[in-house]
Structure 1
Amino acid sequence: MTTLRFSALAAIIATVHAFALDAVRSASAAPVLVEVRNFTTPTQCTEEDNVSFVMNSPAIQRFRVEALHPPYLSKVRGLRFPPADFSNCDFDENTPRTDPGRRFEPRKVRIYDGPDFAIEGNTYETFWRSQSVPVAVWGSVYDEFHLLQFYVKHRQAGELRETQVLVLYPPDGYWRAKPLPATQTGMNSYGSSFLIGPITEADRPVVEIADIDIDPKERTIRLRFIAGGEASVRLIEVSRQRTALDVKFRPSYRPSNVFAAGGMPGFAMLRSMYVAEDNADISRVEWRDAAGRAHHTSVADTAALKARSVRFGRVVPSRHNPDAPDIRFDAFDGPP
């Protein structure tokens, strides 16, 4: 494992107080402790996902993922930030390679359109992976979607708006989530990505999904993994405070068994970007230990930890996506 070490950043971060973490957690009498390991590598390119935190527990059966506004957001609202610095990026090198042998017919399909919820499937002309994952919605099956976009319909500034709050890339298993904008007239960006399920390496970490089945009424996305096992991902809250996903693995799913075939041990991964404290999608790790005590450290100084709740975010406004959300993994639970 490679862990970043930057003494100057450590000195800065040591002066910053910890995030205020929610006490919201699973009702389990003995919460599951999860091992979190840092596989981050250095970069100077703001478009490279160099941050990788893997979560592992052989007992895990359920957990929650939340996208939350960074705690500094109200203080920087309305400020102008300089554009992100791409001067150290080689996009041909840092962008995942497309499959030159596959071409697709570009399309955007509204696969569900309800009174308060909508889903769109997108196919690009090329994509870095050629896998086609069947997506079923109430019996209708679609192939070759590279991106699924989930929208909520809500009132904003007196008008009915449609806001995207969640995306999933079926060919590689990457998710992104964000809460509704913090203000009636605001907008916000996606930032960090996360993976759910058996993680394997294919030029970068991925989750191989065999098929997807969506129940729009219940806002539930069922994933069946090629490596074995299933997960049910339910969108349980979308608000101006958070977007929350409740994840349940099927009883037959055991991360320690699934990964024995050569994958990376873990049931979830946080993927993000860190160049410097003021140029990152996440720069700080906050967690609660078995006794509920809060801890905090920088991405640069984190190696491994055991937590019943862990939040990846920022306390210093970033020049890159300053309004992108923090991501918290919480409510870890085992078999009933």
Structure 2
Amino acid sequence: MRRTLLLTAALAGLLSAAPAFADDLVRARVDNLSHPTKCAEFDNVYFTLTNPGVRAFRIEVTPPVYLADLKTDDTAPNFDHCEAMKDDPKFKFEPKKLTLYEDADTRILGFTHEVSWRARGAEVVIGDVDERDIHLVQVQKKVGDTFQEYLVVYPFDGYWRAKPIPPERFPEAAYGTSFLLGPIEEQHRPIVDIDRIEIDGKNLVFKLKFARGGTGELKVEKAERDGVGLAVKLDGLPAASDKQAPFAGIRSMFVTPDNADTARVVWRMDGGLFTENVMDFKSTSTDDVRFDRVELSKHNTSAPDVSFRGFRGAAE
């Protein structure tokens, strides 16, 4: 496997700075389970992060390096070459939209769609609301006179997506890479089966109880135009019967470097920073891994980069 030392000064400054708690860092094994596709609407990129000793880490979601110079943003779906997409099971629900929480700075909405591929999802609890059929939770921040969306979670399969507060010229800036937190399993696709999500709207904390065992917490520490910062804690996750179970993962899309939601893996080792195409990467152990793009994409051009950093063996 060809591994090229990354010398770009901007990325070196971003990724090589050691956190203040560097002595407590542990490494996670990063494995690539992706496969090629020609369909830009199919999540063919799948990476897992594994280490049974990891109890805390950070996720940083930042704009692509070219965003400041971007003239037009393409967020339209593209179903070319998607004839072979697999049909999901279909379960019917009564559609609805709920305001789960709102104050001067934050609004949290819940949506139930008419159809879902799973018959049930997590119990969602926030204030006086206690629901089991919410398919989508949106978190928004008040910016000027409007609320801007920057984080979503899908309680039915445990997928999360985040994006920086959109720039004024691209108010509908795209989401891109999804991430999974907790014990990943296969149910028609990789999922995390969440039994309960308890949301503290004021402090922007999501407490998770997983159906297979263990608990988690995601706290929004930052939501700005230059990025979203999330602090994650995990505890008591079950072990897989035949191998170590991943504690996190990403799903994304790659057709070509200029038609992708993520195109490169950048990781830190003792010898420096390294980068590789997402389809060529195999595996590594690292305390810092980033999934990004440097070429303009025809698809979800404004979609952000996602980094996992600061893996620790004990939560703060």
TM-score (norm 2): 0.91
Alpha-carbon distance in 2 for matches of 1:281, 1:19: 21
User: 2:41–2:78: 8 Å Cα contact kept in structure 1?
Assistant: no
User: 1:220–1:235: 8 Å Cα contact kept in structure 2?
Assistant: yes
1:78 equivalenced with 2:77 (yes/no): no
> Among 61, 84, 87, which residue is 2:80 paired with?
87
Q: Deviations over 1:219-255 (max 9, x none)?
A: 00001001111001001100111111100113xx24x
Alpha-carbon distance in 1 for matches of 2:81, 2:20: 43
1:284 equivalenced with 2:278 (yes/no): no
Count of residue correspondences: 310
Letter in 1 for 2:290: R
Alpha-carbon distance in 1 for matches of 2:96, 2:220: 25
User: 1:32–1:332: 8 Å Cα contact kept in structure 2?
Assistant: yes
Q: 258-267 vs 225-234, which deviates more? A: 258-267
Structure 2, gaps ≥5 residues long = none
Q: How far is the alpha carbon of 1:261 from its aligned partner?
A: 3.9
SS at match of 2:116: coil
User: 2:165–2:223: 8 Å Cα contact kept in structure 1?
Assistant: yes
Where does residue 294 of structure 2 map in the other structure?
315
Q: How far is the alpha carbon of 1:213 from its aligned partner?
A: 0.4
1:226 equivalenced with 2:240 (yes/no): no
Q: Deviations over 1:37-88 (max 9, x none)?
A: 000101000000000010001210001111110112122x214669664320
CA change 1:335–1:317 in 2 (3 A) is same
Q: How far is the alpha carbon of 1:270 from its aligned partner?
A: 0.8
User: 1:18–1:286: 8 Å Cα contact kept in structure 2?
Assistant: no
SS at match of 2:61: strand
> Among 85, 92, 97, which residue is 2:88 paired with?
97
Letter in 1 for 2:306: I
SS at match of 1:94: coil
User: 1:198–1:263: 8 Å Cα contact kept in structure 2?
Assistant: no
Letter in 1 for 2:259: N
Q: How far is the alpha carbon of 1:117 from its aligned partner?
A: 0.4
1:297 equivalenced with 2:276 (yes/no): yes
CA change 1:292–1:168 in 2 (3 A) is farther
CA change 1:86–1:14 in 2 (3 A) is farther
1:115 equivalenced with 2:94 (yes/no): no
> Among 175, 184, 197, which residue is 2:168 paired with?
184
Q: 139-148 vs 39-48, which deviates more? A: 139-148
Q: How far is the alpha carbon of 1:161 from its aligned partner?
A: 1.5
Where does residue 327 of structure 1 map in the other structure?
306
Q: How far is the alpha carbon of 1:292 from its aligned partner?
A: 7.1
TM-score (norm 1): 0.86
After the TM superposition, which residues 256-275 of structure 1 pair with which residues of structure 2 at under 5 Å, given as runs? 258-261=238-241, 265-275=245-255
Q: In angstroms, what is the RMSD of aligned CA positions?
A: 2.4
Letter in 2 for 1:226: A
User: 1:199–1:268: 8 Å Cα contact kept in structure 2?
Assistant: yes
CA change 1:19–1:173 in 2 (3 A) is farther
Alpha-carbon distance in 2 for matches of 1:247, 1:292: 27
Where does residue 170 of structure 1 map in the other structure?
155
Where does residue 235 of structure 1 map in the other structure?
220
User: 1:18–1:295: 8 Å Cα contact kept in structure 2?
Assistant: no
SS at match of 2:279: helix
Alpha-carbon distance in 2 for matches of 1:154, 1:82: 22
User: 1:201–1:264: 8 Å Cα contact kept in structure 2?
Assistant: no
Higher strand fraction (1 or 2): 2
Q: How far is the alpha carbon of 1:94 from its aligned partner?
A: 2.2
Letter in 1 for 2:122: V
Letter in 1 for 2:26: V
SS at match of 2:239: helix
After the TM superposition, which residues 31-50 of structure 1 pair with which residues of structure 2 at under 5 Å, given as runs? 31-50=25-44
Q: How far is the alpha carbon of 1:127 from its aligned partner?
A: 0.5
